[in-house]
Structure 1
Amino acid sequence: MLILFDNRIDTVEDGAFQGLVNLKMLHLTSNRMSKINIRATMFRGLTALETLDLSWNRIKYLHYGELKSPPFSLLPSLKILIISAQHPFGMLNIPSNFLHGLKYLLAFSARSLNIKSFHPDTFIHTPQLWSLDISLNDFTALSKELFHPIPRLNRLYLFKAQLQSLDFLIGANLTQLSYLQVRKNDFTVVSETMIRSLPALVYLDLQDKTFTCDCSNAWFIQWVTTENQTQVVDAYDFTCNYPVNLGGTKLLDLDTHYCSVDIGFFYFISSTSLVLLTLLGSFIYHLLRWQVVYAYYLFQAYLYDTKRRNVRVTHQYDAFVSYNGHDQPWVLRELLPELEGNQGWKLCLHHRDFQPGKPIVDNITDAIYGSRKTICVISRRYLESEWCSREIQVASFRLFDEQKDVLILVFLEEVPDQQLSPFHRMRKLVKRPTYLSWLRAGEHTRVFWQKLWVALETRDCLAEENPILSGVDRK
């Protein structure tokens, strides 16, 4: 052992320890050595050195970039390195390759160096590291990647390191850590995930800590009182600092029963609800599918009508013609020439008058509310069309909401009642014979067009007052 304590040494000549091949401990504590004077060559010949203490010197690095000549690269047997408390302002940074060459290093102490962070590669050169003391620094937070190269770490000292959380230990791969000292830091919650990530932990020092006394620490309280493997030092002296009304209360005196949730009961309720919702969904799909679809479209129409209810709309067209593309030949050859050509009505047709680039739903609602009437050309294909369904839902809602004669149904073919069942409003109209049938008109189309003219000519009277809605085509 060689002790050179408090000798005001600022420089050690290269090879000064040459020949001390059996020296195992060297103390250069409380001298004036700086980073310039800490060189690999000054330790030449100390091949058996196991302990080196350089604390209380004047070593300082302004950044943690790599050094051209790592200072300990000629100390292959070194097991303990102490560089704590450098003066006057601390070491500030530890270069990323500062520990290069120390592949057998077991203990490293870097206390009170005014360090705020570590380079992630700091410990890649020390895979055997067993004890690490980095207390009394200003970390606030540490990276879990910092500890990946040292999976054998058994003791970690983080006393008064300004830490806001211990979550960096989650995923740090410290499966052999048995001693953890984190007293006098700023975190107030100890998470279950963090504790579970340290399966070998037998000693946890949290002395002089205050905690948040609510359900966020309920698990920790239960764990402290029941855990047999890990000793939590002075746990019965832990106090609360939040909420204010519990200030000074002992943490372990906190009643956490109200934080408990019966997980089994929760799973039972969740699974039962899921089964019931599945059964209800299946029932609705098989028995009420069309009613739900109808209600959905009707609700959309209601929302649109609510927005427009207090807005006075100028009708741009006499009628909007709602039809399926397969029925377009009849509309173009029969309906359009008669109503626009002979009778002089102004019609709105989607293939001709819808505004390009505008959402189709907006085009539909604007066309229906921008026309005095809506003529629905009904066929089987019409009832199968999604967009035709939307058009008739909006039009029928307008009819029953405004209570005005705004809807005219023209049937091109006979449609079974069961196919009309999804459209309850329209089915009600059909049962009250409030529609025109092209099929029944046969060769007497003049009467058909006359009735349609009457329906279009009728203006803002109530639906039941319109002659076309009170018995036309009654069987």
Structure 2
Amino acid sequence: FPNGSLTIRSSSQALDVSNLKLNDNAMESVVDKLETMLNFSDIRYLSLANNRLTELPADSLLHFPNLEHLSLMYNPLKEFTAESNNRPKIPHLQSLVTLDMRYCGLGVLPADFFHDVPKLQFLFLSHNYITKLPAPLFNRLNKLVHLDLSYMDSSLREEEARMENPFMKLITGMDMDSNVFQPLNKLRFLDLSHSKLDLKAFIALSSLGAKLEYVSYCYTDLPTLMDYLFQMESIKMLDLSGNLGCGRALNELSFSLLRNSLEVLYFKNASIFNLKWMSGLRNLRVLNLRGNFLATLEYGPFNELVSLEALDVSNNFIQSWSCQLFANNTKMYLLNARHNNLLLITTSMLRDFEPLKYLAVGVNTIQCTCNYVYFLQMIMGNSSAVTPQTELNSERSATETIFSIEHLKLYDFDEAEYYCMNFTGKRRVNAIELQICSREDEGGYNNISEPASEEPLEDDVEEYLVIYVISSLLVILALLSLLGIYWYWFYIKYFFVILKNSAILSFFNDDKLYLDKSALVEEAPFNYDVFVSYSDNDRSWVLEEMLPNLEREDLLTVCLHERDFEVGYGILENIISCMDRSRCLMLIVSESFLMSRWCQFEMHLAQHRLLETRRDELILVLLEDIPRRKCPKTLGFLMKTKTYIKWPKERTQEKELFWKRLRKALLTSKC
């Protein structure tokens, strides 16, 4: 059963100790007590599943010398995590045939883990998080027939998944030694589905034995179909679903080594665009291509699939076909074409449907034509409506092809999914309620309305197509606009704030606000040429480098908070007063500046005061490169809208040029 309990009941050969939530000590005690009541030598089936075992019960298992089938699933064995240093192996069970260790938290297996179970034939290790299969792991398992390594993903451990590097998670997976499968010369079934493999691990698949028949590589991130994957040439059933790399790299030689053996192929959700690669698979009986990008079906690829019995092409983009595709597939009895782009049921399609037993064509926007009404009503048992018309009109009976499709079963039938489209009335119609009308052979279709027939209007189809294209373009444009607003929301918001403040200022009645900039500057009582905002960590640079270069010859007057703030006033009042009495504002930008809350405040206040006074004299001096991740949006905006000057670190000539440019900028604002 799924919970690990045994299906064998009332048998002296079976012992079920599953689902009791026993810990290690309790399990050992229970086994000891049961041994006094039962003959453990007769036990062939044992389940210890779904308990709370954190250690492999090796001592308890030794009490069952003739054990053949053992289940340990759903036990959190902590001895096999990466952090554990003591990892035991399966005890000596010479008759063990089946071992189930699914959901056991296995992470790292010792190289000799299975060496004492030489008769093992069925091994289930799925839903663990094994990271590597060492070379000697299967050395003694030369009788193994079935190996399940599916759903092997370390992300199953939630704690590790949160700490895991997302990029590494994309490129890494379970690793295998190149010869790990070489001892398994009797292996017939291998399941690696949903186990992401490391790129090097795929080489190990070349060592698989010649008796392998059933293989699942689905959702393993297989990059392409390498020849060594099929060297054994014995595979009958193959699942490659979900491997996008394989689907895009298919060619006519991809399955050349399996032309005489492959019978069942699952290739779902793999981004397949065409079917030219199917040539030569003469023994293929079942083909599942669900969820790909197929747009058309052609006769050529199916012509050689003479043994094909079941075909699933649902959830693709397949359109109606006008020539018979399956004339050579005489054994075919099932076709699933649900959820495609079928618009018409053509005469050729009716010929292809005739030999089938089971069919699914639901969720297709099929047009209300005579062929579709005939097809649906014949299958649903409304053939009595056809017989009188056929008998009364001898001319029509002589020229019209009658198909025997009454035996067909629409195994997905749902009345809501088998409607037809009346493009004239632009609405859905229940085809079963419509009247049978004349069907013209190969390409002539009469659109049906209730109850008479009408010609299909191509103009309506084109109109829908135009609407669809325009709607798609508008949606794409809207998404791009939203994305742009999301990325540049700060700058858009900042722009509107400036626009709003400018509009408010323009309506003030203060006559000075209507003067030009030069008049405003001349009338303002400026006491300083520049107000400097800097961090305490940059104080030495300001005092030793900047002041001597700017205030020499008494050409410029610099305002510093530690020298020019008036005693007795608040810090905020001093900052605003000094900014208003300075012609220019200068920000000395460094990482220390960005870490200082006062410096951040002075930067925001400088923007606000300049906006209020309609001035733009703001100078940025970069003492060092600022990493983008540390650069606030306000500073980023200023650096994009203001020309800034960068302090050179070494060369004397560059430093002289720096001071020359800075003095010129300040003197220009002074004039």
TM-score range, shorter chain: 0.3 to 0.5
Q: When the two structures are superposed, what TM-score results if normalisation uses the length of structure 2?
A: 0.34
Of structures 1 and 2, the one scoring higher in RCO (CA 8 A, sep 6+) is 1
- Bigger radius of gyration among the two: 1
